[in-house]
Structure 1
Amino acid sequence: MARLSASLDRKPRRPGRPVKIAPEEQRRRILDAAAAQFARRGFEGASLRDIAGDAGLSHAVIRHFFGSKDDLWDAAAADLFGQMNAAMAEALGQVDLNDPEARMEAQVRATVRTASRIPWLAGFVMQAGLAGGERYETLVERHLRPAYAFTLEPFYQMKEAGRAHVPDAHFLFMLSTNAAIGPFAQSANARALAGLDLSNPAIAERYADVLVTVLKHGALRPAGQSTT
């Protein structure tokens, strides 16, 4: 398995220190830099000084906005899942929620687009899971479990309608979600081996097209097809 630090190659840059940066821009820089550092190094390995350096801000600015490293980790987790939830809501607002296949496709596309924009999402969750403990348990209860329950709904609907080749809805969810996020956590491999820049929205959309096609034709039965 490739080292996580090698796979998460797209880091926040270390820009110069402008004379004045709007507070919201400072906060945004800190959250992006923190999430990327936590994804590469885990909570224990990341330092506020390195995060400040990646954000192009002073250590004192992080303390001003977020206080401790624990508080910053909590804020970074809430921000990552907030971005995913916003992308999901936007995508689902354009489809019929009573159509589980359309909802599944919208969820997959929203996940791919978000992972393309913030490739450290998968690494952040992975590092928390590897470390375990109270911090991971909090992440599960606040963010992972609600997202899991919500996103799983169309897979249960398709299973109940006899549309799923895969009998376990949890496996279908894992298949679609991991395939939607995983490649973006290893974007260095895509660039080195295939010459693909997965941060390019057009390429990410092409990948979403392929993933949706594979799921529809490999994991689902056509509407109206008998299960016998």
Structure 2
Amino acid sequence: MPVARQPQQERSENTRAEILGIALEQFSTRGFEAVSLRGIAEMAGVNHAMIRYYFGSKEALWRESVTYLFDRYAKEVVAPRPGTKEYSLDAVKDHIRSYVRYCARHPEHARLMMQEANRDSERLKWMAETIIRPRHDANTLPLIQEVSKQVGVLGDIEPVMLLYMITAIAQVPYLLTAEMKYAHGMDAMCEKSIEAHCEAVLAFIFR
């Protein structure tokens, strides 16, 4: 019995997703300037013209990659909303564990942010104004403010500063995995280390 061919639309979507994944990895490890569309095309095994067809310019591909990155985050790490029946301090702790595990699973997220933060570019401005600030205002900052009000999280630290402190302690071990391995013989990516890291972040916040 002949095998049915994969529908053209599905193949197209799979190719597009593969290109986005490769682009995200390249932008996060090498930086925007060092990446070329031809290089991404070679890694994806497609014609350079196909990337132009799907995305247009390198700038447009970068923006699509960033949007994909944050949409993936929103699907994988869902925060409990204050004032809803799903909200509780236990739900907040589960959310923080989920966030730490996301950082371990997708270190390219923090790497891309560091690449752009080090350059203070128009790309960073676009990302901050279009994606980061609206999501912080709608979800993360209200959650931090509610938890701070309930349990006095880390005294009177300004919510935005506290947000970035928590982000740092959740992400940094997965940015410095090689250093931790060579300096201390620690495998930050093993399950035992990730679980210990989750509990350490919670201890920091809810001490």
Q: TM-score range by the shorter chain?
A: 0.7 to 0.9
Is there any run of 5+ residues in structure 1 with no aligned partner, and where?
1-19, 222-228
Measure, in 2, the Cα distance between the counterparts of 1:62 and 1:137.
Answer: 25
Measure, in 1, the Cα distance between the counterparts of 2:44 and 2:155.
Answer: 44
Secondary structure of residue in 2 paired with 1:164? coil
Structure 1 residue 60 corresponds to structure 2 residue 49: yes
Secondary structure of residue in 2 paired with 1:43? coil
Question: Alpha carbons of 1:211 and 1:117: their partners in 2 closer, same or farther (altered >3 Å)?
Answer: closer
RMSD of aligned C-alpha atoms? 2.8
Secondary structure of residue in 2 paired with 1:131? coil
TM-score (ref. length: structure 1): 0.72
The answer to whether the Cα contact below 8 Å between 2:107 and 2:175 also exists between their aligned partners in 1 is yes
Q: Tell me how far 1:127 sits from its aligned partner.
A: 1.5
Question: Alpha carbons of 1:54 and 1:105: their partners in 2 closer, same or farther (altered >3 Å)?
Answer: farther
Percent identity (aligned):
27
Q: Tell me how far 1:107 sits from its aligned partner.
A: 3.0
Question: Alpha carbons of 1:213 and 1:163: their partners in 2 closer, same or farther (altered >3 Å)?
Answer: farther
5 Å matches for 1:13-24?
A: 22-24=11-13
Structure 1 residue 219 corresponds to structure 2 residue 195: no
Q: Tell me how far 1:141 sits from its aligned partner.
A: 1.3
Secondary structure of residue in 1 paired with 2:153? coil
Secondary structure of residue in 2 paired with 1:65? helix
TM-score (ref. length: structure 2): 0.78
CA deviation profile, 1:159-180 (whole Å, cap 9, x unmatched): 2224323421334322322222
* 1:104 counterpart (92, 106, 109): 92
* 2:187 counterpart (184, 191, 196): 196
Q: Tell me how far 1:67 sits from its aligned partner.
A: 1.0
Name the residue aligned to 1:25.
14
Name the residue aligned to 1:78.
67
The answer to whether the Cα contact below 8 Å between 1:115 and 1:181 also exists between their aligned partners in 2 is yes
Structure 1 runs (4+) greater than 4 angstroms displaced = 190-193
Equivalent residue letter for 2:76: A
Q: Tell me how far 1:96 sits from its aligned partner.
A: 5.4
Structure 1 residue 179 corresponds to structure 2 residue 169: yes
Question: Alpha carbons of 1:113 and 1:218: their partners in 2 closer, same or farther (altered >3 Å)?
Answer: closer
CA deviation profile, 1:4-51 (whole Å, cap 9, x unmatched): xxxxxxxxxxxxxxxx99222211211111111111222122111122
Give the number of aligned pairs. Answer: 194
Name the residue aligned to 1:5.
none
The answer to whether the Cα contact below 8 Å between 1:111 and 1:181 also exists between their aligned partners in 2 is no
Measure, in 2, the Cα distance between the counterparts of 1:197 and 1:219.
Answer: 20
Secondary structure of residue in 1 paired with 2:117? helix
Question: Alpha carbons of 1:112 and 1:214: their partners in 2 closer, same or farther (altered >3 Å)?
Answer: closer
The answer to whether the Cα contact below 8 Å between 1:92 and 1:106 also exists between their aligned partners in 2 is no
Equivalent residue letter for 1:121: H
* 1:131 counterpart (108, 119, 138): 119
Question: Alpha carbons of 1:45 and 1:105: their partners in 2 closer, same or farther (altered >3 Å)?
Answer: same
Equivalent residue letter for 2:66: A
Equivalent residue letter for 1:49: R
Question: Alpha carbons of 1:104 and 1:56: their partners in 2 closer, same or farther (altered >3 Å)?
Answer: farther
